[in-house]
Amino acid sequence: MKKLRPDSVRLTLLLGALVTLASFATDMGLPVLADTAASLGVTPARAALTMSVFLIGFAVGPFVMGPVSDRFGRRPLLQLGCAAFSVFGVLGAFAQTLPALLLWRFLMGAGAGTAQVLVLATVRDLFRGREARIRQSYVNLAAGLAPITAPTLGVGIAALGGWRAIYGVLAAGGAVLLALVSLFHGETAPPACAPLSARGALANYLRVITHPVAIGYALVVALCFGCLFAYVSGSSLVLIGVMGVSERTYGALFASTASGLMVGAFLNARLNRRGVSHASLIQVGLAVIVSVALMLLVLAWTRHLGPAMLVGAVIVSHVGHAIVRSNAAQCALEPMPEIAGVASAVLTGLQMIIGAASSAIAASLFDGRTAVAMTGTMSVCAGLALAVYWLVVRPAERRMHLPAAHAVEVPEPPLFDAA
């Protein structure tokens, strides 16, 4: 069976689909948490732990599998991640107790996290410079469909077969992706010279976190994710609890914000193709994110923030998020071609750590009357991302003589078989 070419649309769609595993596994289950709790004889608050343990697994998996993929290749680890997601999804469908379901959810998260980190590494293996940023944008564009469709799909599946059917559908999706990776995805990792060891892995992690450009860009991506996740976690509290919108309306409003991510990913690909530098795009994207967050904070503080203004502003902010992420994520991986798995793991792990922290802060500070806690957390994360970019990344790029285009803007030789 011939493997997909690096420049094929089908490969981009496959990579985008692999990235959606986490979104579908979390967003499809949100509308049926109460049903899950009732079935297992626990409170809805305890059933919500299924989301938390999934995210923990999602963060832990990449830290283990990133170094392993640098030694043994991306393809077998992608297969393992999809297989784990599928198998533990089946076990989750038949779980009879909450502890059992939490275990399977944790392992599903590890599988989804493995897929996520290896997609980032695969793009870095195949491309560099402007072409890599374009490919990253198209992957994000394909992945942007998941947050729009997942909640509605979850409600529909649950109506037909209950919450357990959702796990069955997720398992089937993982199995399909496993088959597609096995049939069409070639190996992309460069040949590994050194044997895998704990000391070597730790040395590679230390190399990434002490490289000012790599860790700087990783922090920019993670802090922007923290800004985004503060909204994701706090939006229901604000829109339903403070602004009084119905649950159905909330679902539609929440899904609509993903359109900003898709527009931003498409716009970023087009601007990169036209030769706009990553530095210019990141600066504009960060300016949009910071401006929107501060505007929302002022409106929340003065009690002038309504649902339409909040959602409309977040859509604009999401355009900036998509632009920053597509460029900054690739720039974080650019200096580490031979250990792209480790660098991707740092990038993904930082996102989850800061995302979880921002979510916890926004929730703990919520006063039940205003959106100040949510928008304040968004503003702090956005401001820190801007500060890291200007105080860490840009000076480091200037010292390394990388002022505007971090790498040679030429695609690396294709590593897939011709198709």
pLDDT per residue as tens digits for the range 182-239: 999 988 887 765 567 788 888 989 999 999 999 999 999 999 999 998 898 788 889 9
Q: Report DSSP letters for 228-240, one per residue.
A: HHHHHHHHHIIII
Distance CA 357, CA 13 (A): 31
* Structural fold of domain 208-401: Growth Hormone; Chain: A; (1.20.1250)
Q: pLDDT tens for residues 312-350? A: 999 999 999 999 998 999 899 888 888 888 998 899 889
Can you give the pLDDT at residue 195?
67
What pTM was computed for the model? 0.82
What's residue 359's pLDDT?
82
Closest to 379 in 3D by CA, of 402, 403, 361? 361
If DSSP codes are grouped into helix, strand and coil, which group holds residue 194?
coil
In degrees rounded to 5, what are phi and psi of residue 407?
A: -150, 165
Measured between alpha carbons, how far apart are the two ends of the chain, in Å?
9
Do 79 and 181 form a contact (C-beta atoms < 8 A)? yes
Listing DSSP states for 140-181 in one string gives: HHHHTHHHHHHHHHHHHHHHHHHHHHHHHHHHHHHHHHHHHH
If you ran DSSP here, which 8-state letter would residue 392 be given?
I
Using left for φ > 0, alpha for ψ between -120 and 50, and beta otherwise, residue 368 falls in left
How many residues in total does the chain contain?
419
AA letter at 193: C
**3-state secondary structure (DSSP) of residue 325:** helix
Domain ranges of the chain: 1-191, 208-401
d(CA 228, CA 124): 24
- The CATH superfamily holding the domain 1-191 is MFS general substrate transporter like domains (1.20.1250.20)
Residues of the chain with pLDDT under 70: 1, 31, 192-195, 401-419
